[in-house]
Amino acid sequence: MINPHRTILRDAQYDTLLREEGFAVIPFLDKDEVDDLVQIFREAHPQKVEGFYASAHLSDISLRKKLSENIKAILNSAFEKWFLQCKLLGGSFVVKAAGFDETLQPHQDWNIVDEKKFRSFNIWIPLIDLHSDNGTILVMPHSHRWLATYRHASIPCAFKEIHGLLLQHMKPLYLKAGEALVYDHALLHASLPNKSQEPRIACACGVIPAEAEMMLFVNHNGKIAAYECNTAYFMEENIFDSPPRSLKKICETEYDFPSVSIKDFYRLSGLPMPEHIHEKMQEQLTYDKGNEKRPFWKIYTPRNILKEIQHRLFHD
C-alpha cells in the first residue's frame, strides 16, 4: 500500500478524494477558456485527425511545444487557484477521432517522480460533454494504492492479464466540458470507443509537487534503470526511445515485473469474487494439489496428458 503524501489540492474535500480514491473531478475551466482551447486545436489541425491522437507525440517538435505552451497559458489561472505548491508540466491535446471504435485499454501513466517520496498527477479536461458513445473516460477507484509499480513503454503492464475484468468494474465519468479529472498517475484508467460523429477533444497536463524532481524509469536488461528527467525531454525527444539517449542514468534496481491475476484482482479491489469463479479456482487448486507430490513420469504419461487436455476443454 502506498502512503498518502502532502496536500495537493487547496480544497480539503477534493484533496481527500484525490488521496483516497486516486482521482477527483473539479470545476476547472469556464466556457470562454474551453472555446479558446477548441479554437487553438482546430487552427493547428485544419484536417481531421485519425484514430487516437496526442499532440505530445507530434513529430513536429515546434508545433508540439507551441501547443503545450498555449494549453498551459489557458490552464494556468485555474491551476493556481486549485493546486498548492505544484509545477504544471507539458500540455497536450488528446483526441479520439469521430467513429474511432476502439477501447483504450486499462493502464497507468508512467512514473515521472520517485513514488516512494512523491506522487505525480494528470489534469485531464474534456472540451466537449462526455457520454457513453463519445469516448468517455473510465477509472478504477483506489487502484493507485494497489501495487508499487514501475511504468514505461518498455515495462510490461502489471495488469495485462485482467484488462477485460477491469473494464467490467471501472467507473465511467461523464464529465462536462471544462471539468477536470485530476488523477494520480498510478490510477488505472481507460476510455470507451467514440461512436459519435464528432471528435472527442480533450487536453491534459502533468503535475508534480514543486519540491519533486522529475525521473524516468526504464526496463534495461531485466532491471529498472532510473534516469534524471525534465519537461524538455517530453517536449523535444522521442519519449519511446529505450534507453533514453539524452538523460543521465542514476542507478539500476532489481524488479520482479509483477503480473496481477484474477485472484489478485479480487484481493486488491476488495470486491467479492463471483461464485462461479471461486468454484473454478478451487477446482484447479484441488487438481494441482492432487498432482504435486507425484513423480513427473507418473503425472505426464500419454494417458494423463490426454485427461488433462479433456479436463481443460470441459472446465475452462
Q: Kindly state the average pLDDT of the residues 177-200.
A: 98
- For the cut 50, the answer to whether the pLDDT of residue 208 exceeds it is yes
Answering whether pTM is above 0.85, one says yes
**12-26, 195-209, 277-291: segment of lowest average pLDDT:** 277-291
**177-186, 213-222, 278-287: segment of lowest average pLDDT:** 278-287
Residue type, 184: D
Give the model confidence (pLDDT) of 75-108 as tens digits. 999 999 999 999 999 999 999 999 999 999 999 9
Cβ atoms of residues 188 and 170 within 8 Å: yes
Residues 6+ apart with CB under 8 A from 9: 15, 18, 24, 26, 82, 83, 84, 182
Residue type, 282: Q
Nearest C-alpha neighbor of 200 from the set 169, 182, 168, 174: 174
- Partners of 203 in the beta sheet? 93, 125
Q: Please tell me which residue, 276 or 309, carries the higher pLDDT value.
A: 276
Q: Could you tell me the pLDDT band of residue 281, with boundaries at 50, 70 and 90?
A: low
Q: Kindly state the average pLDDT of the residues 39-57.
A: 94
Cβ atoms of residues 106 and 165 within 8 Å: no
Q: Could you tell me the pLDDT band of residue 291, with boundaries at 50, 70 and 90?
A: low
For residue 169, report the phi and psi dihedrals to the nearest 5 degrees: -115, 0
